[in-house]
Structure 1
Amino acid sequence: MQKIDQYMHEFLSELNYKPILTMSSKLQGGKKLRSKLLLKIAGKSDISYKICAIIELIHAASLLHDDVIDEAKLRRGAQSINAEFGAKNAIMLGDILYSKAFYELSLIDLKLAKIISNAVVMLSVGELMDVNLSTTFNTDKNAYLKMIYNKTAVLIEASAKCGAILANLNEDDFANYGKNLGLAFQIVDDLLDIKSDEQTLGKPAMNDFKEGKTTLAYIYLYEKLNIQEKEKLKNYHKKELNINEINWIKSKMEEYKIFEQINMDLNIYTNEALNAILKYKMEDLEDIVKSMIEREF
């Protein structure tokens, strides 16, 4: 991971503008799931490290814009860039990271560039879907799944696909692995927003619902509630919830075994991911799936 950070720093240093380095130094590194995935498939090489650095710049840019859209004050337990430097600076830094990533990508390989740049287009569409779905209480599971595929899974899918191309493996198998891993990853992320506390998450718990995001747990719960309870849940949407309101939602999720229902979905996605690469016998990729499902933040 240090090699990837080194390339990211070199890319941004070439722009020769100190505020870029000042702000980018405050970016929270995260788990680098996409990079770990690509390196496990393709192995370590100069081109692999550069592709990883490019993907991490893209991912960081998407998070910068995401935090501005959500008016988030925290990112992984630290002050967000928009909170510390202002929304305008955060947006421009995101644009710089995107633009520099595309420039570096253009120097490497046309096929890889097409895969990653197309993923970024879809990622941006996913962001727009997320914003539009958050205006009302969404009850459409398919709309939610399409949104998280674009917003999250597509870049993980592209990372796995690029790794396979670099390793001369079947790109469709690894794209299928990455897609299902990405869907499961986001569903777990949404679930943790409900089940975990602020200290563990590095951001306020149940913040998604306050921001208008009707994630899978709320969609499933809505399907199970009676008419009066449905209205009650909808009235809590996009609201600052007190402890009693939070406890009511959580108790209803327990009563209707919502978490167990989501775990069944997660098993389907993880099995799809693992079956796609079963013949390659890559234990490291199996471990990535396991660690992603069992994570606490």
Structure 2
Amino acid sequence: MQKIDQYMHEFLSELNYEPILTMSSKLQGGKKLRSKLLLKIANENETSYKICAIIELIHAASLLHDDVIDEAKLRRGVKSINAEFGAKNAIMLGDILYSKAFYELSLLDLKLAKVISNAVVKLSIGELMDVNLSETFNTNKNAYLQMIYNKTAVLIEASARSGAILAGLDEDDFAEYGKNLGLAFQIVDDLLDIQGDEQTLGKPAMNDFKEGKTTLAYMYLYEKLNPQDQAILQGYYKKDLNESEVAWIKNKMHECQIFEQVHQELNVYANNALKAIEKYNIKDLEDIIKSMIERDF
């Protein structure tokens, strides 16, 4: 991962403007799932490192804009860029990261450029879908799944596809793996927001519901509640919840076995991902699925 960080730093240093380096130095590194995935498929070489650095710049840019939209104060346990430097600076830094990534992408293979740039278009559409779905209590599961595919899974899918292109493998098989991995990844994130704690998550627990994100667990719970309890759940939507209200939601989820239901769906995506690449027998990709599902942050 150090090689990828080095390329990212070089790309931004070329812009020769100190505030960019100051703010970007505060970005939290994260898991680099997309880079790890690409390198496991394509192996390590200078081209794959550069593609990883480009994808990480794009991912960082999307998180900067996401935090501004959500007015998030924390990112992985530390001050978000918008909280520390202001929303205007965060937006412009995101634009710079996107633009520099596209410039570097233009210097590489055209096919890879098409795959990644198309993913970024869908990613941006996913952000817009997320904003629109957050306006009301959403009970449309298909709309939610389409949104998380665009917002989260599509860049993971593009990373896997790019790795396959670099390695001369069947890109559709690995794209299918990446798509299902991405969907499962977001569903785990959504579960952790409910089941985790602030210290582990690096952000307030159950923050998604406060921000207007009705994830699978809330949708499934709503389906199983009686009309009176449905009204209570909707009354908690976008609200600063106190301890008793948080306990009410969690107790209802346990009573209705919501977590088990979500885990069943999660396992479907995980199995679909593994099935897509089973003929290649790449244990590292199997391990990525396992570690992603079993993570606690």
TM-score under structure 1 normalisation? Answer: 1.00
- The residue aligned with 1:79 is 79
Deviations 1:200-243 (A, max 9, x none): 00000000000000000000000000000001100100000000
Q: Report what 2:167 is aligned to.
A: 167
Return the offset for 1:52: 0.0
SS at match of 2:30: coil
Which residue number in structure 1 is paired with residue 41 of structure 2? 41
1:91-121: CA deviations, max 9, x gaps? 0000000000000000001000000000000
What value does the CA root-mean-square deviation take over the aligned residues? 0.3
* 2: CA distance, partners of 1:113 / 1:232: 48
> Partner of 1:238: helix, strand, or coil?
coil
How far did 1:53 drift? 0.0
1:245 counterpart = 2:240? no
Query: What does 1:98-137 align with in structure 2 at a 5 Å threshold?
Result: 98-137=98-137
Which residue does the alignment assign to 2:12? Answer: 12
Alignment partner, residue 64 of structure 2: 64
**Code of the aligned partner of 2:80:** S
State the AA in 2 paired with 1:16: N
Secondary structure of the 1:108 match is coil
Counterpart position of 2:154: 154
By how many angstroms is 1:12 displaced?
0.1
- CA deviation string 1:35-66 (max 9, x = no partner): 00000000000000000000000000000000
The letter for the 1-side match of 2:61 is A
Q: Does 1:95 align with 2:95?
A: yes
Q: 2:37 aligned with 1:32, yes or no?
A: no
How far apart, CA to CA, are the structure 2 residues paired with 1:216 and 1:49? Answer: 35
The amino acid that maps onto 1:291 is S
Q: Which amino acid aligns with 1:18?
A: E
Give me the whole-angstrom Cα distance separating, in 2, the residues matched to 1:184 and 1:48.
Answer: 25
Q: State how far apart, in whole Å, the 1-side matches of 2:219 and 2:130 are.
A: 15
Q: Which residue of 1 aligns with 2:230?
A: 230
Q: Structure 2: which amino acid aligns with 1:143?
A: A
SS of match in other structure, 1:15: coil
Partner Cα separation in structure 2 for residue 262 and residue 73 of structure 1: 28
Task: Specify the SS of the correspondent of 1:53.
Answer: helix
Matched, 1:206 2:200: no
Matching residue of 1:189: 189
Matched, 1:176 2:176: yes
Identity among equivalent positions (%) equals 82
TM-score under structure 2 length normalisation:
1.00
Aligned with 1:83: secondary structure?
Answer: helix
Displacement of 1:155: 0.2
CA–CA distance in structure 2, aligned partners of residues 11 and 95 of structure 1: 14
Tell whether 2:53 aligns with 1:53: yes
User: Which residue identity does 1:41 align to in structure 2?
Assistant: I
| Number of positions where the alignment pairs a residue of Structure 1 with one of Structure 2 | 297
Could you report, residue by residue, the CA deviation over 1:111-137 in whole angstroms, capped at 9, with x for unpaired residues? Answer: 000000000000000000000000000
Give 1:180 shift: 0.1
Q: Distance in 2 between matches of 1:220 and 1:100?
A: 41
> Unmatched 5+ residue regions in structure 1?
none
| d(CA) in 1 for partners of 2:265, 2:151 | 19
